[in-house]
A = this chain, B = another copy of it.
Amino acid sequence: MQRLTRQRNAVFSAFSDAGRVLTAPEILEHARAIVPEISLSTVYRQVSLLLADGEIAKVELPGEPARYEVACKADPHDHASHGASDDAGHHHHHYFHCSQCGQVFLLHACPGPMHDLAPKGFQVTHHEVTLHGLCAACVDAGAKAPKTHPPH
């Protein structure tokens, strides 16, 4: 991008605002708090630019619309765990999807290369792991109120 517009700022700050993985409509919602007239098209366009710039990363889960998170260029927490990464230097994440509230959580671990799962002759370059279940908040809510409101 070449110009610093209010919309771009609004889209980017939506992430720090929410502090979690967001879908495009969710970004729109947060960005509207700053620039009410922003359109969904602009959100998608800014997301594309931010992706190209490596500022954010796309998070795709099976059967879910795409989400986006602020890119973690050099993760200060967990690194150096997999020197011989199967991903040629690309730092990837795995996610937890709460089946109740629908929220997506970043996991801070990786099961490591899983070459052995692939048939012989296959070349594994990358893997994705998604966990499903209940997040701590929903487990907690469920423990107190067994009658949960209808899942989406």
Contact = CB atoms under 8 A, between A and B. Distances in A.
A72 interface: no
Interface string A81-109: 00000000000001010010000010111
Copies of this protein in the assembly total: 2
Interface size class of A (residues with CB under 8 A): 35 or more
Contacts of A114: 111, 129, 131
A133 B116 CA distance: 13
B119 A126 contact: no
Contacts of A108: 119
Interface of A: 58, 60-63, 66, 94, 96, 99, 105, 107-111, 114, 116-136, 139-140
Given A94-B117, A108-B119, A126-B133, 17 more contacts: A60-B63, A62-B130, A105-B119, A109-B116, A109-B117, A110-B117, A111-B111, A117-B129, A117-B131, A119-B136, A121-B135, A122-B133, A123-B134, A125-B132, A127-B129, A128-B128, A128-B132
